[in-house]
Amino acid sequence: MINRNLFAREWKSNAAALLIWTLIITLLITLTMSVYRVFLENNTKILAMISILPKGALQFKGISSVDALFSVLGFYSANNVIYMLVLGSIYSIVLSSGILLREEYNKTAEFLLSWPLDRGEVFISKATVVFLNIFLLNLITSLAGLVSMIIVKKEAFSVNAFLILTLYTFLLNLLFATVGLLMSAMVKKPRPITTLSIGLVLILYFIFTFSKITESVSKIGYLTPFRYVNLDTLNPSYRLEPWNLLYFIGLSLLMTAIAYRLYRRKDIYV
Amino acid sequence: MNTPVIDITDITKHYGKARGVDHISLQVNEGEIFGFIGPNGAGKSTTIRILLNLIFPDSGNARLMGMDVISDAKKIKRFTGYIPSDASAYPSMEVNDFLNYCLRYYSTENGTKRLKELSELFEVDLKRKIADLSLGNRKKVSIIQSLLHNPKLLIVDEPTMGLDPLMQSRFFDVLRSENQNGMTIFFSSHILSDIQALCRRVAIIREGRIIKVEEIEALRKRQLKKVHLQFENRPEKESFRIEGMEQIIQSADNSISFMYSGGINELIVTCTHTRLTDMTVEEPSLEEIFMHYYQ
């Protein structure tokens, strides 16, 4: 069902964006990890600073205790939330929401859909490019994180916990990619929805942080997919929760299926 | 009897409350160059987009080369070429890359040779980026991509927009030559002279409805007359009315001009009740005939 011609074209036209986003996130991760040693050396001052923060300020970074910040994995997971979870999700949703819709607002859909392709092939070829790009972004940036941690660590850390965190991140990015596909299949007017897509990720992240900081509204956190990413990597019982896994995979499959169905019957206005 | 290449049956499409096309039916036979004419917003592009499965009809069905436009869309497109009205190809691609990209969707023999021939004929610089091309040159690229795979049916939507007269003439020659080799052409335009230059049969669409399907020659030979009457005194308003009068223009110089589709005897009898100083009855131009249907 993948059309190789279309896949190759999409792969090529999105390669530059993948490269730029991967470089930026890799750079941010390695720069952050490069200050880990300095962080350890100034632990007294930092502890004093952190002690004045509300409890929730650490919780939304998945840190259950201040001590966790001083382990290399705890430091990595706390600081890379923004880079991998938020920036990675923004990349994913922007890529996926544009890949179908761009053909419409650039008016190239009139060419593409007049060639011998069915809508299903168009959707699957483009969605495969999205998923592959997200996989590569996660693979490269995670490898950069792993290598950085190995270089700056003072004590051993759990590679298993790191891999679980990486998988959670990938699943979250993938989920946002399917949201983007669904949005682009639903949009009737051919215009970019980049702002809307980025806004959605930021709003959901804001709801997540708000729910962590404010105990009285903690339940609204369940509305956002960030809530289902377990960042508490230092917890001895840290593992891939089956319900969380089901949530990400189930929701991603459901949204992809709905987007596929809608796109096959979508009126393409150019 | 041969199956029509285009067979539209009772298709309706609305965009919310706005009308697209309303219960249209149309047949185009193999080997025809069929004109599809109507003013802007009449429903021409909606019809074409339904045929190309870009949009879905609310009701009715359409078949191309005997195949359903929805369920057999992919198969149909192997044998169909399309020149969209808006020639916005991928701007970041070079012309050569774009045309080869297009060619790879078809299993066409001699595709590369044809690409070279057509780009030479239309004087297209294959090395240039599409973003750097003028509207006319983008249109030429669009024309080439539609013909690369030797389609059996070519659907064109306002194809001459942006083309200079020389290229337009060359394009028409290509269409005539392809038609002689068996290609059926569905030519949609609001430019009457284009339709007149190429087509033998024409459908006129207005406000989403097909109001006439006829041979161009038959349209010309219809009973429609252009009448000009010059009165001695200014005729009283509404005093000179006969069934079949349309597009009436009353001038300050005591004259009335109108298109007349009634009997000539009735016209003469009515005229005898008035005092005329002059009377002319002539064949209307094709433009005027079309305006008669448009209004």
List chain A domain ranges: 4-265
Which residues in chain A are contacts of B52 at CB distance < 8 A? Answer: 110, 113-114
A9 touches chain B (CB under 8 A): yes
Query: Shortest CB distance from B86 goes to which of A9, A110, A267?
Result: A110
pLDDT on residue B151: 96
**What's the mean pLDDT when you consider all of chain B?**
90
- Cα separation, B31 vs B4, in Å, equals 10
The residue of chain B nearest to residue A189, with distances taken between CA atoms, is B15
- Taking contacts as CB-CB distances below 8 angstroms, the residues of chain A near B188 are none
* pLDDT value of position A108: 93
User: Is residue B17's pLDDT more than 90?
Assistant: no
For β-strands B201-206 and B245-250, DSSP reports them as: unpaired
Selected for mutation to probe chain A from B53, B54, B64, B139 (highest A CB count within 10 Å) is B54
pLDDT tops 80 at residue B42: yes
CA distance A16 to chain B (A): 13
C-alpha–C-alpha distance, residues A22 and B209, integer Å: 54
Minimum mean pLDDT among B83-87, B233-237, B252-256: which range?
A: B233-237
Beta bridge pairs of residue B82:
B155
CB B101: neighbour CB atoms within 10 A?
19
> Are B220 and B284 within 8 A, CB to CB?
no
pLDDT of residue A184: 95
Question: CA-based diameter of chain B, in Å?
Answer: 74
Task: Indicate the helix (H) or strand (E) that contains A140.
Answer: helix A119-152
pLDDT digits (tens, 9 = 90+) for B67-97: 999 999 999 999 999 999 887 889 899 999 9
Global pTM reads 0.87
Residues 6+ apart with CB under 8 A from B120: none
Judge contact between B255 and B280, C-beta under 8 A.
no
Element (H, E) at A167: helix A159-186
Q: Is the pLDDT of residue B285 over 80?
A: no
Residues of A within 8 A of B84 (CB-CB) are: 107, 110-111, 114, 270
Hey, which residues 88-117 in chain A have their CB within 8 Å of chain B?
106-111, 113-117
pLDDT of residue B134: 92
Please, is A212 exposed, middle or buried when counting C-beta atoms within 10 Å of its C-beta (0-12, 13-18, 19+)?
A: buried
Q: Which of A115, A268, A269 sits opposite B77 (nearest CB)?
A: A115
| Contacts with B143 from chain A: Cβ below 8 Å | none
Torsion of CA B30, B33, B37, B42, to 10 degrees: 40
* Contact (CB<8Å) A114/B73: no
How far apart CA A73 and CA A161 sit, in angstroms, is 8
- The amino acid present at B285, given as its one-letter code, is S
ipTM for the complex?
Answer: 0.84
Closest Cα in chain B to A188: B15
Residue B295 has pLDDT above 70, yes or no: no
Q: Is B1's pLDDT higher than 80?
A: no
Name the 3-class secondary structure at B200: coil
Cβ(B284)–Cβ(B292) under 8 Å?
A: yes
Phi, psi of A240, deg, nearest 5:
-80, 110
* Residues B51, B82 contacting (CB under 8 angstroms): no
User: Using CB atoms and an 8 Å cut-off, which of residues 53-92 of chain B contact chain A?
Assistant: 53-56, 73-75, 77-78, 80-82, 84, 86, 88-92
Question: Is the CB of residue B214 less than 8 Å from the CB of residue B202?
Answer: yes
**Stretch B157-170: mean pLDDT:** 91
B-chain residue closest to A120, CA distance = B74
Q: Which stretches of chain A drop beneath a pLDDT of 70?
A: 54-66, 81
Contacts of A17 in chain B (CB under 8 A): none
pLDDT given at position B194: 87
Closest alpha carbon within chain A to B143:
A111
> What number is the average pLDDT over the span B210-217?
89
3-state secondary structure of B260: strand
